[in-house]
Chains A and B, each alone.
Chain A
């Protein structure tokens, strides 16, 4: 089975949040990056499928040069090769909305004719949760989202999909297909030192965004339909009354509130 995993490099979870001077994104100076969490699970699913059924795992990632680090991390974990859709700087991709980025990704993986395309459910930074589903539409493939488990069944797949309120369902679909993977259902592997050593010798095909656009003018970001105007730090939805003092004092103060103001005791 030939599996493509679309992964994204995002700021680390405990990154310092400071809005940059353009008010469009955070200041990336001194920010560390890591692989988007649900993408890491998508990669893990792909590697497990390959181990069980053979085949090839190819990662694709759109981002500036720094995303190469995350790509090589995926190679170290066991992906066979990679496609880096490389933007020239931090802002080039910001001119595209989710559909625009998905078009670029689709154009860069089209020729691979993969049996399966996996992505994480959503990114931890923009959180749009759409790239995988849009990719399916662009590639003309069926899809299923919020997937926890993938089994090969006959000529197709049987996948476990998470529903709301603790419900689940199985979905059967033929390959080629696109699946978006939910986090948390399996243990993520560590990159072994052997894998890290080998990663250096694996192929990373770098495609410059500008070159891809030049080859297909319909990919141009002429007018994204959705435009980010500005970002702000959230204001509190409620005013929190902080109860201080020693643990015992804070506990006593809280119990008093629960008794006389919330009236639940």
Chain B
């Protein structure tokens, strides 16, 4: 189905409500719903990635930053750096789906994608949202055109996940014309060649604030490149601020409110990161599949062997699932933004507030995408055998490049805590009616085995699994809250296991809705959705057992495990046959194709 661009096809759902709402396929956005305009953007991005970025993959990897900058300039010319930038400042002000499409389809080089993400998202968005008219007029056209490259400097050697703990200080000069900054920043992407830095510092050691600092400003120096495991094509350096005098007009946003900038940017950073993992996955997957087709062992291409096919199927399902979840969530964000008034004075704040509503989903996507990418890259490497371990083949690079995604934009540990933590916070505050839902499930399971709801359609079995997954999520959350009360936040392992349940429930539901939306029982997506749902449910079962084991013992545990087994009861489908069928279609195509 193709619809007009700008017309939101997703239902306006409340962020975080996925455990509570039963959605129909028409309520969600899927990759098949991309408008023609969005498909054209995808096509421009894909062609650019294949013909320009891949062609320069080696130069990029060798940190030939002149090449990187030239590519960025070309991207700017095409408008690909200005998707989120307002039109009056040289951008295109397109929807968030389009922004995700660009991040997705340009990702064929981990190093270059980091450059791009650091520039477009964390580099540019603070200015878009918090800049004054003068600041935006001065810098945004240059950033949107790729003439200037942006960087975002928050982390420090001893302030990473605990970003509010930074030590960099700012002090207003006596004449009131400058802030004088002192401190050190670390792990700054694009630092080696960026022209504009968004630097966080505490004014007088207290007011957490952001500053726009141009390269060449006296007192700002860039340290040596880090030697990294992966994403070697990107620049990562420390910054040193030594009596760096920043004009007062370069204070970004309000003094003391810098944490709004830091936190709100992260939500966008997270879903865009997840979108970027998609391109990386398809690239790694394609290399793995092609090798499997070509490599002959025991007289046959290894793609004909079951354990290779299993890797291919598992990878394809991971890609399908991540696509389903990313585009569903970003589509929901677009739907949430649809009725905002662009001309309102508070537009930027309104946008952030609406996006923040989806903070749980953004954290889920970040964990999902980074771990799926690593899984797909690992399978691709393994398919290559020894050749996967040497630099002659791109599998090795994909594998190394994938690893950083679990670390930056909030580690996956932090994001798991956020996903569960925000959900609980919403429940406690009553902004999401989770408590009544938990109570209802508790009452229901305590009442003993009820009637099983039956579903129809090609995804009937998976629908049943999904219903069980949601109940398990509510049941385990309820059990954990009962046991730990307000201290649950301290039980990181339990919070992590609950996050796994949230992640897999959202993802599995996204796959099912997407497959159903294709309205064809033999659509290729149906097999992928089924395959993923099985895997997701296994993860959910394991995590639920882990939670229950930690929250109860003795008779209580026995009762809960009885309930658990009742909820989790299902008959496994034949994943072996399904996997072979999925792999056969992918091998025929030589790439991820549905």
* Whole-angstrom CA separation of A211 from B429 in the bound complex: 64
Q: Restricting to B74-113, which residues have a CB under 8 Å from any CB of A?
A: 77-80, 82-83, 92, 94
Binding-face segment, B35-43, B59-67, B369-377: B35-43
Q: Known interface pairs A69-B36, A72-B36. Does A197 touch B44 (Cβ–Cβ under 8 Å)?
A: no
B165 touches A (CB below 8 Å): no
Q: List B residues 538-594 near A (Cβ within 8 Å).
A: 588-590
Q: Are the CB atoms of A76 and B40 closer together than 8 Å?
A: yes
Q: Give A13 Cβ to nearest chain B Cβ, in Å.
A: 12
Contact A193–B36 (Cβ < 8 Å): no
* CB < 8 Å neighbour of B40 from A72, A244, A245: A72
Q: When the two chains form the complex, which single residue of A192, A196, A244, A246 contacts B37, counting CB atoms closer than 8 Å?
A: A196
Which chain A residue lies CB-closest to B39?
Answer: A69
B48 close to chain A: CB less than 8 A: yes
Query: Among A14, A193, A199, A200, which residue has its beta carbon within 8 angstroms of that of B79?
Result: A193
B24 at the A interface (CB under 8 A):
no
User: Which residues of chain A from 69 to 105 have any CB-CB distance to chain B below 8 Å in the complex?
Assistant: 69, 72-73, 76
- Chain B residues near A245: list those with CB within 8 A: 296, 299
Write the chain A residue with the least CB distance to B300. Answer: A244
Complex formed: what's the CA distance from A73 to B43 in Å?
10
Q: A190 with B36: in contact, given A197-B92, A200-B5, A244-B296 (CB under 8 Å)?
A: no
- Interface pair A246/B296, CB less than 8 Å apart: yes
Contact mask for chain B residues 125-137; partner A; CB cutoff 8 A; 1 contact, 0 none? 0000000000000
Q: Which residue of B has the minimal Cβ distance to A249? A: B296
From B43, B48, B94, B590, name the one whose CB has the most chain A CB atoms within 10 angstroms: B43
Is the CB–CB distance between B40 and A192 below 8 Å?
no
A190-B92 in contact given A72-B36, A73-B40 (Cβ < 8 Å): no
Chain A residues whose C-beta falls within 8 Å of the C-beta of B44 in the assembled complex: 190-193, 196
Q: Does A194 contact B (CB under 8 A)?
A: yes
In the complex the two chains form, what is the Cα distance from A93 to B507 in whole Å?
44
**Contact yes or no, A200 B78, CB < 8 A:** no
Interchain CB contact under 8 A, A196 and B296: no
B83 and A190 contact, CB distance less than 8 A? no
The chain B residue with its CB closest to the CB of A75 is B40
> What A residues does B43 contact at CB under 8 A?
73, 191
Q: Do B78 and A192 touch (CB < 8 A)? A: yes
Are B94 and A193 closer than 8 Å at their CB atoms?
yes
Query: Please, what's the 1-or-0 string for A165-204, where 1 marks a CB less than 8 Å from any CB in chain B?
Result: 0000000000000000000000000111110110110000
CB pair A193–B41 under 8 Å, yes or no, is yes
Which partner residue on chain B sits nearest A34 by CB separation?
B43
Instruction: Please determine whether A200 and B37 come into contact, CB atoms closer than 8 angstroms.
Output: yes
Q: Quick one: which of A14-62 are within 8 Å of B by CB?
A: 14, 16
Q: Is the CB of A194 within 8 A of B79?
A: yes
Count, chain A residues at interface, CB 8 A: 18
* Residues 494-531 of B at the A interface (beta carbon under 8 Å): none
- Whether the Cβ atoms of A196 and B40 lie closer than 8 Å is yes
Contact A192 B296 (CB under 8 A): no
- Chain A, 185-244, CB within 8 A of any chain B CB: 190-194, 196-197, 199-200, 244
**Is B48 in contact with A196, judged by CB distance below 8 angstroms?**
no
* Contact call B92/A193, Cβ cutoff below 8 A: yes
A72 CA to B41 CA, complexed, in Å: 12
- The residues of A that contact B157 with a CB separation of less than 8 Å are none
- B40's nearest neighbour on chain A, judged by CB, is A196
Q: Does B346 contact A (CB under 8 A)?
A: no
B83 touches A193 (CB 8 A): yes
**B residues less than 8 Å from A193 (CB atoms):** 41, 44, 78-80, 82-83, 92, 94
> Which B residues touch A14, using CB under 8 A?
589-590
B254 contacts A by Cβ under 8 Å? no
CB-based contact A190/B296 at 8 Å = no
Query: Of B37, B48, B589, which is within 8 A of A197 by CB?
Result: B37
| B491 contacts the other chain (CB 8 A) | no
Expressed in whole angstroms, the minimum distance between the Cβ of A206 and any Cβ of chain B is: 15
Known: A197-B92, A200-B5. A191 touches B296 (CB 8 A): no
B275-308 vs A, Cβ < 8 Å mask (1 yes, 0 no): 0000000000000000000001001000000000
Q: Measured between C-beta atoms, what is the minimum distance from A200 to chain B in Å?
A: 7
- Nearest neighbor of B297 in chain A, beta-carbon distance: A246
Q: Name the residue among B5, B78, B94, B588 with the largest chain A CB count within 10 angstroms.
A: B78
Complex interface: chain A residues within 8 A of B48 (CB): 190
Q: Is B40 a contact partner of A191 (Cβ separation < 8 A)? A: yes
Cα distance, A69 to B2, chains bound together (Å): 11
* CB contact between B77 and one of A69, A192, A200 (< 8 Å): that residue: A192
Least Cβ–Cβ distance between A69 and chain B, in angstroms: 6
B93 nearest in chain A by CB position: A197
Rounded to whole Å, the gap between the CB of B386 and the closest CB of chain A is: 13
CB neighbors of A among B134-189 (8 A): none
Closest A residue to B91 using CB positions: A193
* B217: Cβ under 8 A from any A Cβ: no
A194 vs B85: C-alpha distance when bound (angstroms) = 13
Contact A192–B79 (Cβ < 8 Å)? yes
A194 to B44, CA, bound (A): 12
What separation, in Å, do the CA atoms of A72 and B299 have in the docked complex? Answer: 48
Please give me the residue from chain A that is nearest to B299 by CB atom. A244
Minimum C-beta distance from A68 to chain B (A): 8
CB of B490, distance to nearest CB on chain A (Å): 47
List the A side residues contacting B92 at CB < 8 Å: 193-194, 197
Q: Could you name 25 residue pairs across A and B whose Cβ atoms are closer than 8 Å?
A: A14-B590, A16-B588, A72-B36, A72-B40, A76-B40, A190-B44, A190-B78, A192-B44, A192-B78, A193-B41, A193-B78, A193-B79, A193-B80, A193-B92, A194-B79, A194-B92, A196-B37, A196-B40, A196-B41, A197-B94, A200-B5, A200-B37, A244-B296, A244-B299, A245-B296
14 more A-B residue pairs beyond the given contacts A193-B80, A194-B92, with a C-beta to C-beta distance below 8 A: A73-B40, A190-B47, A191-B40, A191-B44, A192-B44, A193-B44, A193-B94, A196-B41, A196-B44, A197-B92, A199-B37, A244-B299, A245-B296, A246-B296
